[in-house]
Each structure stands twice: as C-alpha cells, then as structure tokens.
Amino acid sequence: MSVDPDDRTLLEALLAGEHRALARTISKIENRSPGYRDLVSELYAHTGNADVIGITGSPGAGKSTLVDKLAESYRDRGETVGIIAIDPSSPFTGGAVLGDRIRMASTVGDMDVFVRSMSARGTLGGLSTATADAVKAMDAFGKDKIIIETVGAGQNEIDIVRTADSVAVLVPPGSGDDIQTLKAGILEIADIFVVNKADRDGADRTVQELREMVQLGDGSDLTGGGGHHSQEVIDAHDDWDGEPDEDDETDEDWTPPIVETVAIHGTGVDEFIDELAAHRAYLVDSGEHAEQVRTRYAEEIRTLLREDLHAVLEDELVAAGGIDDLAEAVRNGETDPYTIADDLLTPVEGCLEELETDADVNSR
C-alpha cells in the first residue's frame, strides 16, 4: 500500500514518540478518514510488543477507578500505559458520553499515560471496529501496557476476547443470583475475576460463589476450565513412553484466579497485576499466545472482507435503483428478497471467478 506523504509524516512522528501524532492517528482511525487503511497497514510492522489487557464487567463495578489505579501502579514500576475507554454512544448522534475520564484522575499530567475515549457506536460486542486499530497505534507507539475498558453491558461484552491478551471481569459484591444469570455469557470470558469494592457487605459471599463456579466449571465448558484462552498444549516433539519427561511443560489449563480489590484505595491492585503477569507467562509458555494472535488476525481479515463486500454491495444496490425501490418491488409481489440478493451477488461472483481464472493462468 502507498501511504500519503502527510500520513507518512504522521506515522514517523508517531514512531518517534509524539503523543500528538498518536492522538491524530487514532482520530483518523476512528473517523475512518481517507487513507486510514494504508496508515494502519504500515503500523503492523511495529506491533507485537505490548501487553493488551481487557477490563469489563457490569456497570457500577468500579472499572474506571480500577483502571486508573492499575495505570498508576504500572507507572510506579516504570512502564508506559495506553488506555482506551469504550463509552456508551448516542443512538442518534453516535457521540460518546466520555465519562470515564472523570474517574481517571491519578495519572493526569503524566505524559506516559495516554487515555483515549472511544464510542461503542452501537456495536453489540461492546467495541467499535476501530478499537483494534487504535490498539495497534498504541502498540506501535511503544506503550508497554494497553488497557481496554469496555462499556459493561452484560452478555454482549465479548468482543474484548478478540482484542485483549488477558481479560479481567469485575464482579461487584452482593451479585448473588446475577452470577448464575451471567455465567453463560460475560463470566465465561474471564481469565481473572476481580471482586472490586471488597470492603462492602456481601464481598465474601460473592468470592465464595465465584470460587464454586470456577471449581464446577473446571474441565468443562463453563469458563473453559480457565478462561477464554485455555486449551490443551501438546508437545509433538516429545516421545511418549508412558512417563512424563522431567522437562516436560505442563499441559494444564489456566484456572481463573479471584482477586479482591478496593480500587478507590488501591488495595489489591498489586495482587491483580501479579495475576495478570502470571497469565501472560502462561500464554507465552503454553504456546497459546501465538494461537491467540493467529486467531486475532484471522478475525481481522474476515472483518475487513465483510466491510469491503458490504461497500461493494451497497454500490450494487444504488446501481439497481436503491433499496427502497427494491423493497417496493417485493411489496408489490414483483420479486422477493432472495432473488434480489442472488441478482446483486451475481456480478461479484463473476469478478471473483475471473480473478481465480487469471491467477491460474499466471501460475502456469
């Protein structure tokens, strides 16, 4: 891809560590401005070094406060942080409330903590399609830790799995039956459970209920025996003789730990960071991180293909007279949606067949 000269300058400034360039790049990505795809394409060669952490959970669980303290603790350890706060968006304007920044005060003025609010823009999974690209911009910039805080809308908060390496689900004290209600959705994606506001009544019971749920789900579909990344790791190079080698790596799944925090006071944050580091080590040592990255890129390819095909079909709709005229034809009994879809896809399929034919000829 060829990058516009202005975008080339922007890219060079971003790679040089200029926060203004990072902000402009993310704005270009979020707005889907002309040339953004060429710019993002250039970012890939500079990514792969950051730890991407997802923080999700029900509204009121204290996500923003915990993210603030998490960033502060990482800075105390000398690491740079990027934060993407996904805010609810207006169904009318697409704009975001941007309220998360109000609760992130501990690192105000620290240039090594970059906070960006982004709109969910109606995406059911809680993340806009621009979020993954914004993560790449922060990664290429050189941020050590990238934290994504999602809207917290319940079972639909699962897109975070496709973007983050480690996912922490916050569960407020006294959730009671809510845990049973949610366990078939959002709780299944957790690599780490965090009971925040653990100084409140009901915290001990919530911890116990989570512990029982994890134990019941260990080895079954519930929590996958250890979060959304767990799988058996088999070393194909080892000769099995009925006894494990002394240097064999474990093939045990990750079991989600339960951490208690009081984010407003910073209590339990260091323990939370330790568990995040342990999960990161597990991913790398087990080989799951490589599989994770492959899955992520596969999903990105599918997403781009869907977007491009959608744009092509929109052009075909316009050429056919517009969706309203076609709908009116269906209403009048002149045709049906299936026939219309087939007619619109026929030229697209013809182009693909022609490309395949050309590719076969060129390969001979």
Structural domain boundaries of the chain? Answer: 48-231+249-291, 301-363
Is residue 288 within 8 Å of residue 233, measured between CB atoms? yes
Is residue 172 within 8 Å of residue 58, measured between CB atoms? yes
Q: CA triplet 338, 339, 341: central angle to 5 degrees?
A: 65
* Residue in this structure with the two tokens 């917290």, named with its chain if needed: 152
Is residue 288 within 8 Å of residue 191, measured between CB atoms? no
Is residue 148 within 8 Å of residue 52, measured between CB atoms? yes
- pLDDT attached to residue 102: 52
Q: What is the pLDDT along the chain (364 residues), one digit of tens a residue?
A: 678 899 999 999 999 999 999 999 999 998 889 999 999 999 999 999 999 999 988 888 899 999 999 999 999 999 999 999 987 654 444 444 454 455 566 666 778 999 998 876 545 444 667 889 999 999 999 999 999 998 765 444 567 888 899 999 998 887 655 565 555 556 678 999 999 999 998 899 889 888 888 887 664 444 444 445 443 332 333 343 444 444 444 457 899 999 999 999 999 999 999 999 999 999 999 999 999 999 989 988 988 888 888 888 888 888 888 999 999 999 999 999 999 999 888 887 888 787 778 777 777 6
- pLDDT attached to residue 128: 64
Q: Which of 246, 244, 225, 266 is nearest to 67 (CA)?
A: 266
CATH topology for the 48-231+249-291 domain = Rossmann fold (3.40.50)
- pLDDT attached to residue 217: 67
φ, ψ for residue 172, nearest 5 deg:
-75, 155
- pLDDT attached to residue 41: 95
- pLDDT attached to residue 264: 92
